[in-house]
């Protein structure tokens, strides 16, 4: 079974630009979560999608947005990039059945550098 895939793996952008990151969850997984990891702030939850609906959102500005498609693939978008947006962006998928907790499986991440 293929794992969580994220594209691109590396990205370099300049301030003010926008960027779209993609995540393909494990087949059959309907929940996708996004995290930002920086040396200063550590791992921070961005948002979670389930069945094309955003169910939970972390404390990030509106420049950070996302969506999920009917095939569970997800994209996140960051507009008007700032230097502080340089980070490793991790996507995680989960099966989420029956109401009990299901572990999250993480992708390799997209490393975004903003110049």
Partner 1 sequence: AQKVTQAQTEISVVEKEDVTLDCVYETRDTTYYLFWYKQPPSGELVFLIRRNSFDEQNEISGRYSWNFQKSTSSFNFTITASQVVDSAVYFCALSEALRVSNYQLIWGAGTKLIIKP
Would you tell me which residues interact with partner 1 (CB under 8 A)? 33, 42-45, 48, 50, 55-56, 58, 88, 90, 92, 96, 98-101, 103-109, 111
Cα 28 from chain centroid (whole Å): 18
Q: Using alpha carbons, select from 1, 22, 35, 7 the residue that is nearest to residue 69.
A: 22
DSSP 8-state symbol, 28: T
Least gap, CB of 13 to partner 1 (angstroms): 19
- Nearest distance in Å: CB 21, partner 1: 14
Q: Residue 11 or 88: which CB sits closer to partner 1?
A: 88
Cα atoms in the 13 Å half-sphere on the side-chain side of 95: 8
Q: How far is the CB of 78 from partner 1 (least distance, A)?
A: 19
Which residue from 54, 62, 65, 58 is spatially nearest to 44, judged by alpha carbons? 58
User: Which residue's CB is nearer to partner 1, number 62 or number 101?
Assistant: 101
């Amino acid at each position: 079974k293929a794992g969580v895939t994220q594209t691109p793996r590396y990205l370099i952008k300049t301030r003010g630009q926008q960027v779209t990151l993609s995540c393909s969850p494990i087949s059959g997984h309907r929940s996708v979560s996004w995290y930002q990891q920086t040396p200063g702030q550590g791992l921070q939850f961005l948002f979670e999608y389930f069945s094309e609906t955003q169910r939970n959102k972390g404390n990030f500005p509106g420049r950070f947005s996302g969506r999920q498609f009917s095939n569970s693939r997800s994209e996140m978008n960051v507009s008007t990039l700032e230097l502080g947006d340089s980070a490793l962006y991790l996507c995680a998928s989960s099966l989420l059945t029956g109401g009990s907790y299901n572990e999250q499986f993480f992708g390799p991440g997209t490393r975004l550098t903003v110049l």
